[in-house]
Amino acid sequence: MIYYCNVGGHERIPALYSCICNDIWHFLCLSCCKVHFNSLSNKEFLKPLPIEFIPHYEASRALNIKISLLESFGKECFKDLLYATKSITEIYNRFSTEIMNMKKELANTSYLLLNNPQALKEGELKRIYDSKPSDIFTLVDNLAVIKKEYSILNIQELINNWFSIELNFNLLDDNKPTITLSSALDAENKNLKCKNSHDLKWDINGLFRNFFKTRGKLFVKCYFCKEKLSKACWNCIECLYFVCKECGRIKGKKSRSLKCLKHHELLWKCDVISYYNYYFNLNQKNWKCDVCDALKVSAHWHCEVCTFDICKACIPEISYSSWSIPLISLSGNFFNQVELVYGKNVICSLCKEGIITNYYVDPEFNYLVCQKCAIYTPDESPGHPAISCSYSHILRWTNKLDFICNLCRVSGKGFVFYCHICKYYMCSKCSRFLENFFIEKREIFSSSCITNDYDREYHLLKWAMLKSKIKQKIICNYCSVGTEIDTGLFECYKCRLYVCIKCVSNSSQSINKIENQ
């Protein structure tokens, strides 16, 4: 026998829950259950129907949800256990080193005293012998630090956290993916600071700040392991101090990165509508949040692999601070802010509208920019500084321009990244390729270079944004098409071999080599 929902006008939908309140039996589908649950004073009245009273397809869907939740929970437990294992190993190695150093020092002193008693009169040995134990054995202090670090791990609490989590399958099960941070070790250790004792923050802002300060560098280095990074990390934007995710975890500071149900890290995107329209042959003007089902147009968190989207309103526990992108002039300097003189007629060089508030000026090129054009909003800001022109201007996102992409030379209407000052355009496809190229640290090689070293088969091709005051074109060695020198391409600096982004992105989905034709 199958029960159907008898509330909310959903009489044709199979019921998944039952509730007896006010001495009346209610059978509820999933959507009615959510509304009914919030109105109950005694939540225990609401119970799931036995599986024999549920259609097989609904029961199968419910079981798949539970399996996904269990897989997600198991992965979180494994990550926490792996972190604890690494930390304990590090503590043990440091402990062993301290013990060995102490034994070695005492053994050497004992040997000298047994074989040369007169050595006691020597200054260094006499100082060691006459010193207090606390002065001799620095191990005592070091062990105290190690013990404190071990107590921070709190392994027993970690295990208790795993088993105290209530996997509430029966209550309001939904086929919506859940966005959660790891259950255990979620509290941040506030001891991880930069060299100047500033607290580190988890975001992409440090990468942007480094990009501006170094005039175009897209990689930073972890302070501890020296690994190259080009994505969100622990950082201090004032000191340009960076710590990667793994080193932060070892030091007790867990990353605040968002992940989808399949544990792919979500990235900040403002071009999702264009991406869906291009790859899935759609013509939509908005995207749908996979958590609240609301239709949105703004920038948000996105998983390209799962086509999963979540709006900012659905993640209140994570505060995402949008970065403030300063406008850089053609001279390579930041614009200076000046006060508007009352009665002076000033026109913005970009939007051509009258300026009524303070504005920004570049005296060398006589550029006047209003605050609206100088300040980027999160909805129009890319999630990576690689989306820029050769003058290190971060591109803006819009859906109102006709364009020809400077990289792949494809024309289009509407959605595009663009630079106000340089009239530079980058389509969504090229921007995603570049962003993934740097985030995943992909490598592209060429076996065509004539100066290949004997100990290395290929030369590494690097992304280059060349600057030139003279308009000239560079010929792609792969397709023989000329490209403007300041457009951006991959090059071998030694051999002067150039490959355009269109040839690189079309050669293979997982590019390892490029053979010159």
Please tell me the predicted confidence (pLDDT) of residue 451: 57
Please tell me the predicted confidence (pLDDT) of residue 242: 94
Please tell me the predicted confidence (pLDDT) of residue 171: 36
Domain boundaries, the chain: 58-164, 203-247+265-314, 336-434, 443-514
Could you tell me which residue, 286 or 13, shows the higher pLDDT? 286
Kindly indicate the confidence band of residue 186, based on its pLDDT and cuts at 50, 70 and 90. very low
Please tell me the predicted confidence (pLDDT) of residue 1: 64
Q: Is the pLDDT of residue 133 over 50?
A: no
Does the reported pTM lie above 0.75?
no
Q: Which two tokens stand for residue 150?
A: 């071990």
Angle at 402 between CA 397 and CA 408, to 5 degrees: 75
Identify the weakest region by mean pLDDT among 69-73, 335-339, 502-506. 335-339
Please tell me the predicted confidence (pLDDT) of residue 372: 75
Please tell me the predicted confidence (pLDDT) of residue 68: 63
For 310, list phi and psi in degrees, rounded to 5. Answer: -140, 130
| Beta-bridge partners for 18 | 27, 47
Q: Buried b vs exposed e over 305-316: b needs ≥16 C-beta within 10 Å?
A: eeebbbbbebbe
In tens, the pLDDT along 401-446 reads 889 999 999 998 888 999 877 889 999 999 999 999 999 888 777 7
Highest mean pLDDT among 71-75, 91-95, 352-356, 397-401: 397-401
Please tell me the predicted confidence (pLDDT) of residue 12: 73
C-alpha dihedral sign at 239, 149, 251, 98: positive
Could you tell me which residue, 483 or 454, shows the higher pLDDT? 483
Q: Is the pLDDT of residue 146 over 90?
A: no
Kindly indicate the confidence band of residue 73, based on its pLDDT and cuts at 50, 70 and 90. low
Average pLDDT over residues 3-32: 77
Average pLDDT over residues 303-307: 89
User: H/E element holding 101?
Assistant: helix 56-115
Could you tell me which residue, 49 or 455, shows the higher pLDDT? 49
Q: Which of 199, 250, 255, 244 is nearest to 93 (CA)?
A: 250
- C-alpha 73: how far from chain center: 22
| Beta-bridge partners for 248 | none
Q: Is the pLDDT of residue 58 over 60?
A: yes
Q: Which two tokens stand for residue 61?
A: 């869907």
Could you tell me which residue, 343 or 348, shows the higher pLDDT? 348
Average pLDDT over residues 107-129: 59
Burial class (CB in 10 A: 0-12, 13-18, 19+), 125: middle
Kindly indicate the confidence band of residue 122, based on its pLDDT and cuts at 50, 70 and 90. low
